[in-house]
Amino acid sequence: MNREIHLVKRPEAQPTDEHLKIVESHKPEPKEGEVLIKTLYISVDPYMRGRMSDAKSYIDPFQLNEPIEGGGVGEVVESNVDHLSEGDIVTGMLSWKEYSTAKGDQLRKIDPELGPVTTSLGILGMPGLTAYFGLMDIGQPKKGETIVVSGAAGAVGSAVVQIGKIQGCRVIGIAGTDEKTTYLKETLGIDEAINYKTENVSEALDRACPDGIDVYFDNVGGEISDAIYPRLNKFARIAQCGAIASYNIPNDQGPRMQMHLIKSSALIKGFTVGDYQDRFTEGFQHLSKWLKEGRLSYEETISEGFEEIPNAFFGLFEGANLGKQLVKVAEPRQK
């Protein structure tokens, strides 16, 4: 037997159990060019909320009554592909199934000797690359500048914080629990960390950014960003990576911000990591090097069990995760 998680209703606001359903099925048969994969880890990511809507976007919506798909790590249990063998650990876009088939050319083989396989879903995967390209290409940080990062203790944010420090910048992080601000300060060595749930963000920014804000890496949007815009320095750059505060609020309203952009001649650039596909090798090289040198660290929050995938996903919108949120679905058959 096999289990799958289907989207059964499109959420208008916060996704809940009524939108996702665990469905029993049979193990699929891999066709020519495909492999059968036993899912080991599933990555849940805020961007997936967008695919649950059927609005036009950079990526097609999930289909109703079909499995969700997202980043994952799995073990090849049957292969109809020359370059992959039983026992290989692979990463790629996997269906939310205990066992799934995938095309061999859309999977990347991981060498487990190089480090934990979960890093392919985090610091050495899409979140790490998102942090790298958003900060370096859009943020263009210069030594001594002030960077503010929202969602700073998440998978992307915590990488941005550390890359910002590597660039010689003053880095301020905003997060939603004292555990997270402590992590930012004590583990990542951030200059200032603001708990937006217990502090007045505007006042805290005035204290933490006496010289204004040069770069803002935005994962959240909403009221936190409202407090950033009036504090931008001339020619500030904003990497608009996410807007999780708005994802579950239909027609979310807030102060118009065009005037702030004019006053500071500031730039906002929306992006997704796919925009940088041609430069992934460059990103991997930098991230791997910094990781080996001990200049990058990462955290993971790992839920256990296939049936925990929906809750792990819902928890993203409450900020339940420190670092990368994963779900461990199974152990590999052989280590």
Phi-psi region at 40: left, alpha or beta (left = phi > 0; alpha = psi -120 to 50): alpha
Pick the piece of the chain touching its own copies (CB under 8 A) from 29-37, 167-175, 260-268, 296-304: 260-268
143 binds its own copies (CB under 8 A): no
Contact status: 50 vs its own copies (CB under 8 A): yes
Nearer to its own copies, 64 or 249 (CB): 249
Question: Quick one: which of 26, 60, 111, 251 contacts its own copies (CB under 8 A)?
Answer: 251
DSSP string over 155-205: HHHHHHHHHHHHTT-EEEEEESSHHHHHIIIIIT--SEEEETTTS-HHHHH
Residue 262 interacts with its own copies (CB under 8 A): yes or no: yes
Handedness of CA 163, 119, 127, 186 (dihedral sign): negative
Q: By CB under 8 A, tell whether 52 contacts its own copies.
A: no
- Binding to its own copies by residue 148, rule CB under 8 A? no
Instruction: State in angstroms the smallest separation of the CB of 59 from its own copies.
Output: 9
Helix (H, G, I), strand (E, B), or coil: what is residue 3? Answer: strand
Give the total of residues touching its own copies (CB under 8 A).
40
> Does the footprint of its own copies cover residue 259 (CB under 8 A)?
yes
**Does 252 engage in binding with its own copies (CB under 8 A)?**
yes
Beta strands 107-110; 192-195: pairing state: unpaired
Is 56 a residue that touches its own copies (CB under 8 A)?
yes
* Chain centroid offset of residue 60 CA: 18
Decide if residue 258 touches its own copies (CB under 8 A). yes
Q: Please identify, using beta-carbon distances, which residue of 84 and 273 lies nearer to its own copies.
A: 273
Using alpha carbons, list the distances in angstroms from residue 208 to 200, 231, 285.
12, 11, 32
* 135 is an interface residue for its own copies by CB under 8 A: no
**89, β-bridge pairs:** 75, 110
Reduce the DSSP state of residue 307 to 3 states and report it: helix
What Rg do the C-alpha atoms of the chain give, in angstroms? 20
Nearer to its own copies, 263 or 292 (CB): 263
Residues 214-243 that bind its own copies (CB under 8 A): 218, 221-222, 225, 230, 234-235, 240-243
Beta carbon of residue 180, minimum distance to its own copies (angstroms, whole number): 22
Choose, by CB under 8 A, the member of 2, 272, 301, 311 that binds its own copies.
Answer: 272
Q: Does 246 bind its own copies (CB under 8 A)?
A: yes
Residue 39 bridge partners (DSSP): 74
Distance CA 263, CA 162 (A): 30
> Using the rule CB under 8 A, is 269 a contact of its own copies?
yes
Nearest to 39 by CA among 74, 66, 63, 84: 74
332 binds its own copies (CB under 8 A): no
16 CB neighbour count, 10 Å cutoff: 11
Question: Which residues sit at the interface with its own copies, rule CB under 8 A?
Answer: 50, 55-58, 218, 221-222, 225, 230, 234-235, 240-243, 246-247, 251-256, 258-272, 275
